[in-house]
Amino acid sequence: MAPSFSDDYTHFAVKKGHGVKGISELGLKALPKQYIQPLEERIDMTKVLDKESIPVIDMSNLDDPNVADQIANAAEKWGFFQIVNHGVPIEVLEDVKEATRSFFQLPADEKIKFSQENSPTKHVRFGTSFIPKAEKALEWKDYLSLFYVSDEESSTFWPAACKNEAIEFMKKSEFVIKWLLQALMQKLNAENMDSKAPLLMGSKRINLNYYPICPNPELTVGVGRHSDVSTLTFLLQDNIGGLYVRKMETDAWIHVPPISGSIVINVGDALQIMSNGKYKSVEHRVAANGSNNRVSVPIFVNPRPEDIIGPLPEVLRNGEKAMYKQVLYSDYVKHFFRKGHDGKETIDFAKI
The torsion angles phi and psi of 295, rounded to 5 degrees, stand at -125, 150
Positive or negative, the CA dihedral 207, 214, 212, 1 is: positive
Does residue 228 interact with Ni ion by CB under 5 A? Answer: yes
Continuous H helices in the chain: 6-10, 19-24, 65-77, 90-105, 108-111, 151-157, 163-186, 193-201, 269-274, 313-316, 329-336
The one among 162, 177, 199, 223 contacting ligand OGA by CB under 6 A: 223
In the complex with ligand OGA, which residue's Cβ is closer, 18 or 255?
255
Binding residue (CB under 6 A) for ligand OGA from 127, 217, 298, 310: 298
Q: What residues have CB less than 8 Å from 241, skipping those under 6 apart?
A: 255, 256, 257, 258, 294
DSSP annotation string for 8-29: HHHIIIIISS-HHHHHHTTT-S
Q: Which of 237, 262, 289, 346 binds ligand OGA (CB under 6 A)?
A: 237
- Residue (of 271, 250, 243, 117) closest to 185 by Cα position: 271
C-beta closer to ligand OGA: residue 209 or 275: 209
Strands lying side by side in the sheet with 243-246: 223-226, 284-286, 243-246, 253-255
41 binds Ni ion (CB under 5 A): no
- Counting contacts by CB under 6 A, is residue 340 touching ligand OGA? no
Q: Which among Ni ion, ligand OGA, none contacts residue 272 (Cβ within 5 to 8 A by kind)?
A: none
Q: Residues 10, 173, 209, 275: which binds ligand OGA (CB under 6 A)?
A: 209
269 counts as binding Ni ion under rule CB under 5 A: no
Picking from 173, 286, 287, 279, the residue whose alpha carbon sits closest to that of residue 230 is 279
- Asked if residue 309 binds ligand OGA (CB under 6 A), the reply is no
User: Of the candidates 125, 196, 204, 284, which one interacts with ligand OGA according to CB under 6 A?
Assistant: 284
Q: Which of 286, 287, 299, 309 is in the footprint of ligand OGA by CB under 6 A?
A: 286
Q: Return the SS3 of 204.
A: strand
Secondary structure of residue 146 in the 3-state scheme = strand
* Contact call for residue 207 and ligand OGA (CB under 6 A): yes
Contacts of 39 (CB under 8 A, 6+ apart): none
The residue from 34, 203, 296, 302 that contacts ligand OGA (CB under 6 A) is 296
Segment contacting ligand OGA by CB under 6 A, of 29-37, 194-202, 235-243, 275-283: 235-243
Nearest distance from C-beta of residue 233 to Ni ion, angstroms: 6
Write out the H or E segment, with its range, that includes residue 294: strand 294-302
Count of residues interacting with ligand OGA (CB under 6 A): 11
Shortest Cβ distance from residue 284 to Ni ion (Å)? 6
Stretch binding Ni ion (CB under 5 A), from 166-174, 197-205, 225-233, 307-315: 225-233
Residue 228 vs 269, nearer CB to Ni ion: 228
- Residue 227: CB minimum distance to Ni ion, A: 7
SS3 per residue for 241-268:
CCEEEECCCCCCEEECCCCCCCEEEEEC
Q: Which residues bind Ni ion (CB under 5 A)?
A: 228
Q: Which residues bind ligand OGA (CB under 6 A)?
A: 207, 209, 223, 228, 235, 237, 243, 284, 286, 296, 298
